[in-house]
Structure 1
Amino acid sequence: MKVSARNLIPATIKQITQGAVNSEVVMEIAPGVELVSIITKHSVENLGLKEGSKVKAMVKASSVMVVTD
């Protein structure tokens, strides 16, 4: 598969919480660093996602803000 997004982050699925329609997918992208995505329950099933699966998180945003204290 080829995609135009440059932000592909290798990750391991740490936890999947199934809801009636959507599921919360927690991915570990580095030791102690998590990224969370909400996707449809159908997508979880269609992709065959399970805890421990190796995936890539694809981030596509029109803007990214930088914030300091």
Structure 2
Amino acid sequence: MKISARNALKATVKKIIPGAINTEVTLEIAPGINVTAIITKTSVENLELAEGKVAYAVIKSSDVIVAID
């Protein structure tokens, strides 16, 4: 895989919740640390996503904001 985005986190698909048009995909990037993405049903099918499969959370953003309590 070659990609220009700087943040590609290897993960395991933990949960897939299909909706009418979009699907919620939860990826575990480390034990107990999840990232959730909303993607189209077509993308889920094209990527052949399934629970337990390895995938990448690719984050493309021009800004990263840091906060504390």
TM category (shorter chain) comes to: over 0.9
Partner of 1:22: 22
Matched residues in 2 for 1:15 and 1:43: separation? Answer: 15
**Map 1:1-69 → 2, pairs under 5 A:** 1-69=1-69
Structure 1, unpaired ranges of 5+:
none
Structure 2, unpaired ranges of 5+:
none
CA RMSD of aligned residues (A): 0.7
Matched residues in 1 for 2:46 and 2:3: separation? Answer: 19
User: What is the identity, as a one-letter code, of the residue corresponding to 1:8?
Assistant: A
Count of residue correspondences: 69
Greater mean deviation of Cα atoms: 1-10 or 37-46: 1-10
Taking structure 2 as the reference length, the TM-score comes to 0.96
Q: Find runs of 4+ consecutive structure 1 residues off by over 3 angstroms.
A: none
Q: Alignment identity in percent? A: 55
Q: CA deviation at 1:33?
A: 0.5
User: What is the identity, as a one-letter code, of the residue corresponding to 2:5?
Assistant: A
Taking structure 1 as the reference length, the TM-score comes to 0.96
Matched residues in 1 for 2:3 and 2:31: separation? Answer: 26
